[in-house]
Amino acid sequence: MDRSKAKQATIYFDENIHKALRLKAAGTNRSISDVVNEAVKNLLAEDQKSLEAFEAQDYEPVISYEDLLNDLKSEGKI
């Protein structure tokens, strides 16, 4: 991470989460900030994929209930 472009924030973690982060960071020779940044980037990437999938879905056209009833009546279905 380019520290010159990084923004500082104070984040409060549950005690056990913080302990896990410290161990993860130490075990991978990275800082807690790097571990958290990677996790947030992955979460944002998942959200982006979900939004793309949602937008790509083929939905039925939106029609009001009144219009639906009128269509059914004009087609002799009700």
Q: What is the pLDDT of residues 20-47, one digit of tens each?
A: 999 999 999 999 999 999 999 999 999 9
CA distances from 18 to 31, 50, 62 (A): 12, 28, 47
Domain boundary assignment for the chain: 7-74
Q: What's the pTM?
A: 0.64
pLDDT at position 58 is 73
- CATH class for the domain made up of 7-74: mainly alpha
Task: Give the separation between CA 69 and CA 65, rounded to whole angstroms.
Answer: 6
